[in-house]
Amino acid sequence: MLRKLQKQTRAFLVAIASLSLFALMTLMFFDVVLRSAFNMPIEAATELTRCLMALVVFAVLPIISTSGGQISVDLLDGVFHRLRLVRIRDAVIALVSGAALIEPARRIWILADRAREYGETTEYLNIPTYLLGSFVFLSVLATSLALIVHGIAVLFGKHSSEGAKQ
Amino acid sequence: MTTAIVGFAIVLLLVLLRLPIAFSMGIVGAFGYAYERGGSILDERGLKATMSMVGRQIMDTAQDYGLSVVPLFILMGLFVNKGGMARELYAVSNAFMGQMRGGIAMATVAACGGFSAICGSSLATAATMSKVAMPELRRFGYSDSLATASIAAGGTLGILIPPSVILVIYGLLTETSIGKLFMAGIVPGLLGIVFYILAVRWTVWRKPESGPAGERASWAERLSALKSTWAVLLLFFLVIGGLYGLLDFQPLNLAFSPTEAAGMGAMGAFVIALCRGGISFAGLRDVLKETSFTTAALFAVLIGAQVFSNFINIAGLPQALIAFVTTYDVPPFAVIMMIIGIYIILGCVFESLSMLLLTVPIFFPVVVSLGFDPIWFGIVVVVVTEISLITPPVGLNVFILKGIVTDVPTATIFKGVTPFWIADILRLALIVLIPTLVLYLPNQMGALGH
């Protein structure tokens, strides 16, 4: 049940990122063509681009962070394997990374909440900016919690670590 | 300055312990910033200021309009791959060079150069070309070391010949014209192709059995292969032509910013792949998923690097380095040589983008204060980064090859890469000693481009 929910959430987040990316490409294309051929640029193109970029990046951030998708250097993996420290190292890395995101997540929530209080909106489409801020907050918080859970699971042997898979 | 150096050392240590690079730079940058602001890493006011900066940085970086060029160029590269254009480039290079001794390896290098003109990533170039070229190189009995090395080295050209994701990020980071940077990458990129071809010649001269001659193509076959590259040329002229205003005439009126060029390139490559039946719905889904994953990972590094860069700046490292160079009257050339040395050493450990993000905020102000051209320095940095892609023990392009051609030991690839590595060092020396090689084309641009 839990695994199924996890899989569906993952598919949903990938779909958000993929659709946003495709929309970004299409938007850019039509903006250039309409501006060049008909002198009718899409005025909201810049703000839409900024929103779509945030959706692409933050929709999949929790997924890449817990599936070894973050860029890292595996130069000393052999040493950790020999010392049988891979599991502990990977658990510590996940826990430290997860803990490091708690305070930034709280800060992003404050920024989003402030934007809501002030009634900030985008220039052309009047999209409330707190919506995007809340999405980024949820993504960073989800990444943080997922990393902490992942770290605990790796520590107690419920989940194989990235280094151990290699 | 001491704080910044200690911070830098801790980042290196954390990276070696396999903490993701984004977190290594972000955590050290945040605590370092708090220390500089409050006098202690646990000072409440310092930590509050830091978290304010980190929160703002996370929000701003992911919504940066200029950075949208990154996912779009990655997307373009993946669509190009689906459109079968790498195969056509390889066929035409092979038709002209294949009959020479070592010719198929030379054709591989030339095809990598051509592919780089429509793809902005070295890893994507190496991965794509290894699938296309490796079967042919094996069919003609090329040694594993020469075959894999020519692909790994040729693949590095992806980040130098425009379009280039790394040059875009350097441009955004240093507020240097991306159009001029792209133009500046052309001659060093072509030099790279020539030097790599010479490295192949040298290898087959030393060991003739490592690169036997292939079949000679007739002129009719050559012309037919040449004609099939129209899609590559079309895409290249769409992106580069639009960027430099070459398509700005009635009724097209096409003139793009780098971001728009990336969007047009991605859409162009998508349409070509679609028309050729190279992309199904599942294929499109995979491409979009892969691009979004790569983008998120790159942006995580970017955010971490911005936090670290704020710490480095508030700690005054660039200013201290400038003061040191001025006080001790260090010759500018010696400074450049030291910087290049540091890059080559860091390149043994760091992935290319992380290395750039970590070092440019420190070195760029020093280099500019010494009177060097920022465009020239950008190309030097990218060429050194290219070298790092084939330098042991990390050499990412080598590991990309190893991931695809699993039966060749990593040591064999690194052994084969040695002549290409030396060719790279010679090219770097040439670019450093004769900056005109880099600056001639951008200086001719005038008001063209963005």
- Residues contacting B174, CB < 8 A, separation 6+: B360, B364, B374, B378
pLDDT, residue B352, reads 79
Q: CA of A144: which chain B residue's CA is closest?
A: B23
Distance of alpha carbon B134 from alpha carbon B124, whole angstroms: 15
| Least confident piece of the model among A85-94, A149-158, B72-81, B249-258 | B249-258
Two structure tokens written together for B135: 């079967």
Residue A164 confidence class, pLDDT cut points 50, 70, 90: very low
Q: What is the mean pLDDT of residues A39-63?
A: 93
HEC profile of chain B: CHHHHHHHHHHHHHHHCCCCHHHHHHHHHHHHHHHHHHCCCCCHHHHHHHHHHHHHHHHHHHCCCHHHHHHHHHHHHHHHHHCCHHHHHHHHHHHHHCCCCCHHHHHHHHHHHHHHCCCCCHHHHHHHHHHHHHHHHHHCCCCHHHHHHHHHHHHHHHHCCCCCHHHHHHHHHHCCCHHHHHHHHHHHHHHHHHHHHHHHHHHHHHCHHHCCCCCCCCHHHHHHHHHCCHHHHHHHHHHHHHHCCCECCCCCCECCCHHHHHHHHHHHHHHHHHHCCCCCHHHHHHHHHHHHHHHHHHHHHHHHHHHHHHHHHHCCHHHHHHHHHHHCCCCHHHHHHHHHHHHHHHHCCCCHHHHHHHHHHHHHHHHHHCCCCHHHHHHHHHHHHHHHCCCCCCCHHHHHHHHHCCCCCHHHHHHHHHHHHHHHHHHHHHHHHCCHHHHHHHHHHCCCCC
Check CB contact under 8 Å for A140 and B351. no
- The answer to whether residue A109 scores a pLDDT higher than 50 is yes
Determine the distance in angstroms separating the CA of A155 from the nearest CA of chain B, rounded to an integer: 16
| Average pLDDT score, chain B | 87
Check CB contact under 8 Å for A60 and B292. yes
Residue in A29, A49, A107 nearest the CB of B65: A49
Give the alpha-carbon dihedral of B248, B70, B406, B116, to 10 degrees. Answer: 20
- Encode pLDDT of A111-127 as tens digits: 999 999 999 999 899 99
Q: Is the ipTM of this structure higher than 0.95? A: no
Residue B102 gets the label, from left (phi > 0), alpha (psi -120 to 50) or beta, of left
Q: What is the mean pLDDT of residues B1-11?
A: 87
Residue in A24, A69, A108 nearest the CB of B293: A69
Two structure tokens written together for B131: 């699938």
pLDDT, residue B379, reads 95
Q: Report which residue type is found at B150.
A: S
A136 — contact with chain B (CB < 8 Å)?
yes
- Encode pLDDT of B195-249 as tens digits: 999 999 999 999 988 888 878 888 888 888 888 888 888 888 888 888 887 777 7
Instruction: Find tokens 């903006």 and name the residue.
Output: A31
Strands (E), chain A: none
Q: Please, how many CA atoms are within 13 Å of residue B345, restricted to the half-sphere of its CB?
A: 8
- The answer to whether residue B278 scores a pLDDT higher than 90 is no
B67 — contact with chain A (CB < 8 Å)?
yes
- The answer to whether residue B169 scores a pLDDT higher than 80 is yes
Two structure tokens written together for B159: 């980040």
Chain A residues within an 8 Å CB radius of B54: 103-104, 107
Chain A residues within an 8 Å CB radius of B271: none
Determine the distance in angstroms separating the CA of B231 from the nearest CA of chain A, rounded to an integer: 18
Instruction: Find tokens 């979004």 and name the residue.
Output: B292
B residues 261-320 closer than 8 Å to A (CB): 262-264, 266-267, 270, 285, 288-289, 291-293, 295-301
Are B21 and B302 in contact, with CB atoms under 8 Å apart?
no
- Encode pLDDT of B283-316 as tens digits: 999 999 999 998 998 899 889 988 998 898 888 8
- The answer to whether residue B45 scores a pLDDT higher than 60 is yes
- The answer to whether residue B164 scores a pLDDT higher than 50 is yes
Instruction: Find tokens 């398509």 and name the residue.
Output: B247
Q: What is the mean pLDDT of residues B54-58?
A: 92
Residue in A37, A60, A163 nearest the CB of B296: A60
A residues 137-156 closer than 8 Å to B (CB): 140
pLDDT, residue A61, reads 95
Residue in A22, A57, A96 nearest the CB of B299: A57
3-state SS class at A18: helix
3-state SS class at A125: coil
Residue in B16, B21, B301 nearest the CB of A75: B16
A8 — contact with chain B (CB < 8 Å)?
no
Question: Best of A12, A107, A127, A130 to disrupt the B interface by mutation (most B CBs within 10 Å)?
Answer: A107
- The answer to whether residue B279 scores a pLDDT higher than 90 is no
pLDDT, residue B3, reads 86
- Encode pLDDT of B216-231 as tens digits: 888 888 888 888 888 8
pLDDT, residue A161, reads 57
Chain B residues within an 8 Å CB radius of A25: 72, 75, 263, 266-267, 270
Q: Whose CA is closest to A151, among A136, A165, A162?
A: A162
B390 — contact with chain A (CB < 8 Å)?
no
> Which residues share a beta bridge with A121?
A128
Determine the distance in angstroms separating the CA of B378 from the nearest CA of chain A, rounded to an integer: 23
Q: What is the mean pLDDT of residues A16-29?
A: 96
Q: What is the mean pLDDT of residues A47-61?
A: 95
Determine the distance in angstroms separating the CA of B300 from the nearest CA of chain A, rounded to an integer: 8
